[in-house]
Each structure stands twice: as C-alpha cells, then as structure tokens.
Amino acid sequence: MSPLIPSPLVLSAAGTALVLDGSGPGLPRVRHFGADLGPVSGSELLPALASLTAAPPLLPAQGDGWYGRPGLSGARPGEHWPVRWTLDGFDVDATPGAGGTVTVTASDDRAGLALVSELAMDAGGLVTMRHTVTNTAASPYRLEGLTCALPLPARAGELLDFTGRWALEKVPQRRAFEHGVWSRENRRGRTGHDGTGLLVAGTAGFGFRAGEVCAVHAGWSGDHVHYAERLQEGAALLAAGELLAPGEVTLGEGESYRTPWVYFTWSGGGLDEASGRLHDHLRAARPLPVRPVTLNNWEATYFDHGLDRLLELAGRAAEAGIERFVLDDGWFRHRRHDRAGLGDWYVDEGVWPGGLHPLADRVRKLGMQFGLWFEPEMVNPDSDLAREHPDWILGRSERMPPPQRNQQVLDLARPEAYAYLLERLDTLVGEYAIDYIKWDHNRDIAEPVHDGVPGVHAQTLAAYRLLDELRRRHPGLEIESCSSGGARIDYGILARTDRVWTSDSNDALDRQSIQRWTGLLVPPERLGCHVGAPRDHCTGRSLPLAFRAATALFGHMGVEWDLTSASEDELTELAAWIALHKRFRPLLHAGRVVRADHPDPSALVHGVVLPERALFAYVQLTSRLDTGPGPIRLPGLDPAALYEVRPAGPLPEGAGLPQWAVTSENGPIRLPGAALAELGLPAPALRPASVLLVEVERV
C-alpha cells in the first residue's frame, strides 16, 4: 500500500466517472461523481477541479471544512477529540473505462482511531463503498454513527423517495431539494414497509427516461438511514448507512466496526439507466438458475392443511404448468391459528401423522419442486419454545417488549437460540429434501435488548449468519425473503436470498405500482409476482384473470389462488398465461427494464429489452380523461435497428384495437427503434384493468 495518492484519481466505466483528489491534507476529497469526463488524465483535470472547494472528503468532518452532518460520530467517557485524519496508505487497482477499487487507510492518534475506506466502481458504473473504524486507544469508544457519502452537483434540485404500509409498499413522494437535511430513518429492526429503498436526487422534473439522477441504497436489513444534505457553502451530498441506537456499538481497544455496503448509482438519462446499473450489479454478484413458476397455498387454504385438499391443489397446479409447490404457515406443532406455535419447528403429528412426506412425494411425482414456509426469527408466547426458554426472547426479561401479531422476537445473537434454529432448519431441509424456503418476518422489532444493550445490530448479523450457514450446508437451497410482504427488501438480504415477496397484496391494480417502484432496486427475476384469486383478500377488489396474469407475468411469476375452486375455463386460461411467461422468461429475467414517461396518468407503459427482442405492456389502470389515447412510445430499443411489432398473448376483451394490433394480410408492421421511441404506436382504447402486450423483434 502506497503512502502517496495519484491525484486526482479517476475511476470510470459505462459512462460514469468518479474523481478523487488526494492533494490533502487528510482524506481524499470526492471532486466529481457523475458523467464520464472523457479521455483526459488526472493532471489535466486540475484546473477544472480547482473551483470545487466545497467537495467533501470520503468521510466528512468539521476539521475538513464540512459543517453538515459528520460522516463519523462517537464519544469517549470524559474526553473528546474531534477527528482529523492523517493519511497512512492508499491502494488502487483501476483500469480506465473498466472501473476499479480504491482502499484508503488513515488514522488519528490523538482521537485513538484508525480508518479503512473501501470504494469500488464495477464495469457497469455502479459505485459501492464501506468504512471500517478501529479503536486504537485503551479507553472504550462509543460509536454513534458511520455513514458513506458521495457529492451531488448544484443542479440536483429535486428529491424522490418512497414510503408505504403493509400491502401498499413503495409509494413515491417528491420534493424540492433545498438547504438542510432530508433524512429517512428506519427504527423498525427490519427494512420496513415504509423503508425508502432508494433515495434519489436529480435535476428538476427528472423521469424514467430523462434528467440527471443520483441514488443511494444502504445494503442493510436492520435499522438504517438515508439522507440528502445541502449546505449554504454550495456543497451537497447523498449518504446512507446503519442507524445505531445509543450504546449499541462500543469498541474496546483493538475492536472494529464495519459499515454495510452502500450503493451509489448515477444516470444522465433518467431513472431507468440508474436502475439498470443496480440490476446489472446484483445479477453479476448472484446469478440465478431458471425461476420456476411457483404456487403458494396460503390464500388457497390458509391454516386448513387437510392432505386430500392439498393433494388436489397440487394436481391442479401441475395441470396449469406450475413448477414449484410451497406449503405455507400451519404445518408445525400447535399452529391451527396465528396465536400459537411459532418457534416449535416440528411437523405437527396430529395434522401430519405421516410427516410431510405424502405431500412432498406427490408434489415431486407431479414434476414440481417442494417448498416450505418458516418464520425463524419469531416466537409465539404460546409455544413450547417460549415456555421452556423465555430468556431467549429479544428484550429485558423483567419487562417484555410490546407484542405484535401475538409474537415476540427470538434473540438470534444468543448462541443457544441460534443453535436451536440451525439444527431445526437443517434437519427439516435434509429430511424432506426441501428445494425452497419462504422465510418470513412478520413484525417490527420493538425495544430490542441483547446483553443489556440495543440489539438490532447483533440480531441482523446473526440472521445473516444463519442464512449463510444454511445455504452452505444445502448449496442448492433457494430462499425467499418475505417480511409481511415487502418489509425486508434490501441488498443485504438479497446477498443471501434468491427473491423477495414484493407485497402481501395480490391486487393487480395496486401491484402495478408496487412492482414498478420496487423494480427500481430489484430486477424482475427476484420479484415474487403472483396471480391472486378473482377477489383479492387484502382489498376485496375483483379483477379479470387476464389483468392479474399480465401483471404477474413481468416478475418471478407464481400463483396464490385456490385452483380447486377455479373453473375449467379459468384453469385453461391460467395455463395459457403460464406458458406465455415461460416463453418470454429468458427475456424477462435477463433483459433491461424500461419504463416510458407516459403522459396519461390513467395508463402505464413498461417493458423488458434485449438486443434482439423485447416485450412491452400497455396497461390501462383507470378510465381515461381524454377521448383518444395517446401513442404508445416504446423506449430502450436500438434507434438504428429495424423491428417487427406484433401483439403478444391474448388480446384484451372489449378493446378498440388499432390496425397494427389486429391480424392482417400484410403481417406485422416494421419500424426503426427511433420511430418506436419517438412517434410510438397508436394506442388501443382499453377498458380499465386491461393490458395489451407488445412483442418486438429485431429484423
């Protein structure tokens, strides 16, 4: 590791550049994060960089002239030394145009701290960062916060973040970005239904296909913070990290704390490009096999686990072309309702006298995989586990945390509790050769206490260890992160799981928005998207099967419907939609997601694009105000290429279809990508809750 910094240092890839200025004193300053600066050396950038005096260092502090939120905060008993870092070393491995890695080491002997900052740009232009701080003094250091930040340009004048609730996640909200801090703080012990996922800053009016944007995401499944800050000096930044409770992390001499990875993505052409960098990074980090179409029995049978009924449901699922059958809540001891049994992870002998083998064996004979539901981090007070080990509950034994959903949280950081869960999960996965776990987490964590200190940090790390060890012992096992629906969706959990349950609502109208915005962070093949029952169990709304299926088609498709109650016509129609999904699955689960900035709020246009082909959806959500629909513009295609365009799948009923969408002697129309993106296609006149699919193939 060299003590000298090549200054300025430029990392660049896929149209993005990051410039570090190590001219000192102290930590390098980030002079630029944004558009690629072209074929220019670092030394040639010096005149242009000289005016950027307000650029923050890698870890902003007052000693560096930063008067906003400090990147590091903490205290020692009876003494306080503001941190001023001395650079100790610098290691870089970078190739122009291909990204690279930078590691910076620094220390402050007076403050008794050492720092390692790691920064990387991947080949797709996504930047990841984390810091590690070590206490080098004899006295304890109480860490209060450590975040990762990158600067924003002055032209970033608008913020976008997300809120939500159970069964209605990822609701967007926008505001002007003015002086001060806009902070989204999560103290729910899990990522949360209202967790923003991404905090986006951009030029005013940015959309999916236009405007300059920068976004940040903390890859952490416990308490976290995302914030944007603008100072009167003209500097602005985006930052994120773990949100620590007072006293949660105290470092003894030689002990260290490392932040979760924080992800930064930039785009000069709207949200889709920034989202694409995130998707590419996740796909490269964890490639997945083909995603089987999945049936989950929850909304079909709830706690009714009669074997004959489940076998009939499995048979119907196989007839429809479903490839995985998942047995949800209710299979373990004492679990006839949601008030008892959590933690007693033994097959209920009264309900399943032969164990789960009769069902699992039949499912496999039908050609499907077998999956099982667990909620390992939770315990019902009315359970053998809670009665035998009340000290395993995360909280003070003298005063239990307030219950939610008749549940408490099991202290996974307690070695005995961890060992019990690992043994139970490992044994069951092995005995039944389980292919897939639906891993649920159905309450926020309130008043967590572990070994006398706040316990979310230790709980989150223990959950990660449990997932990692189970996967190590069973390499082929797939795991879904479910948390009352979409309350634990982040890159920390996705580093260990194969998909997320996007929402407990299968209402396809609500799902159009939930999937659209969750999909900024998560690619389609990791979004659980199911065809629900004709009448949704959350909203009570009834929607046509074609609309429900077309909505689920664009993710990891599945079914959450009692198919034993479906008519033969409904089962035939569902089978046709599943076959259509399988036909387009190689495209949907590998292509670039695109979303048009469609001017009509009653409709959406989105799609998935590969170089040779694409699939788009024109979605009519509600009744139109205008008497004539506007054109369907198809973004993301090669402007110079020629494409054939045709409808895909069943045509919507009762639609006024334009000529290009109906069969004619002339065959499909042909247009260049530029014309499809700019002029578009004449739109159909659709009823509310209707979808027209459009297939595009390069000639």
Helix axes 568-588, 545-552, angle to 10 degrees: 20
pLDDT, tens digit, for every residue of 282-317? 999 999 999 999 999 999 999 999 999 999 999 999
Question: Of residues 507 and 403, which shows the higher confidence score?
Answer: 507
Is residue 608 a part of any domain in this protein? yes
Q: Over the chain, what is the mean pLDDT?
A: 95
pTM here is: 0.97
pLDDT for residue 47: 73
CATH of the domain at 88: 2.70.98.60
**How open is the CA angle 671-675-680, to the nearest 5 degrees?**
95
Whether residue 603 contacts residue 623, with contact meaning beta carbons closer than 8 Å, is answered with no
Res 39 pLDDT > 90: no
Domain span at residue 630 reads 596-698
pLDDT, tens digit, for every residue of 157-205? 999 999 999 999 999 999 999 999 999 999 999 999 999 999 999 999 9
All residues at 6 or more sequence positions from 51 whose CB lies less than 8 Å from its CB, including other chains: none
pLDDT for residue 291: 98
Whether residue 518 contacts residue 486, with contact meaning beta carbons closer than 8 Å, is answered with yes
> Which one of 440, 507, 510, 536 is the catalytic residue?
440
Listed residues 257, 285, 313: the one ending a domain: 285
pLDDT for residue 663: 66
Is residue 169 a part of any domain in this protein? yes
Rounded to whole angstroms, the Cα distance separating 494 from 439 reads 12
Is residue 614 a part of any domain in this protein? yes
Q: How far is CA 196 from CA 99, 157, 300, 567, in A?
A: 28, 19, 31, 41
Listed residues 230, 260, 285: the one ending a domain: 285
pLDDT for residue 40: 75
Rounded to whole angstroms, the Cα distance separating 341 from 383 reads 5
Tokens of 555: 């993710």
468 catalytic residue (yes or no): no
Rounded to whole angstroms, the Cα distance separating 422 from 370 reads 20
Res 52 pLDDT > 60: no
pLDDT for residue 680: 96
Whether residue 543 contacts residue 689, with contact meaning beta carbons closer than 8 Å, is answered with yes
Rounded to whole angstroms, the Cα distance separating 413 from 394 reads 9
- Phi, psi (rounded to 5 degrees) for 146: -150, 115
CATH of the domain at 678: 2.60.40.1180
Is residue 201 a part of any domain in this protein? yes
Listed residues 266, 285, 304: the one ending a domain: 285
pLDDT, tens digit, for every residue of 205-236? 999 999 999 999 999 999 999 999 999 988 99
pLDDT for residue 65: 87
Stretch 606-622: mean pLDDT: 98
Res 53 pLDDT > 60: no
pLDDT, tens digit, for every residue of 319-356? 999 999 999 999 999 999 999 999 999 999 999 999 99
Q: How far is CA 433 from CA 77, 245, 359, 364, 429, in A?
A: 53, 41, 13, 11, 5
Q: What percent of the chain has pLDDT over 70?
A: 98
- Centre a 10 Å sphere on the Cβ of residue 35 and count the other Cβ atoms it contains: 15
Res 151 pLDDT > 70: yes
Residue 581 confidence class, pLDDT cut points 50, 70, 90: very high
Res 533 pLDDT > 80: yes
Single-letter code of the amino acid located at 392: W
Rounded to whole angstroms, the Cα distance separating 656 from 140 reads 72
SS3 218: strand
Rounded to whole angstroms, the Cα distance separating 121 from 101 reads 6
384 catalytic residue (yes or no): no
Stretch 557-577: mean pLDDT: 98
Is residue 331 a part of any domain in this protein? no
pLDDT, tens digit, for every residue of 419-450? 999 999 999 999 999 999 999 999 999 999 99
Please tell me the total count of domains within the chain.
2
Question: Of residues 49 and 116, which shows the higher confidence score?
Answer: 116
Res 5 pLDDT > 80: no
Rounded to whole angstroms, the Cα distance separating 496 from 473 reads 13
Is residue 617 a part of any domain in this protein? yes
pLDDT for residue 532: 98
Whether residue 511 contacts residue 505, with contact meaning beta carbons closer than 8 Å, is answered with yes
Rounded to whole angstroms, the Cα distance separating 145 from 591 reads 38
pLDDT for residue 6: 61
> Which one of 161, 498, 504, 510 is the catalytic residue?
504
pLDDT, tens digit, for every residue of 652-671? 987 788 888 886 566 789 99
Q: What percent of the chain has pLDDT over 90?
A: 91
Bond from prior residue into 682 cis (ω within 30 degrees of 0): no
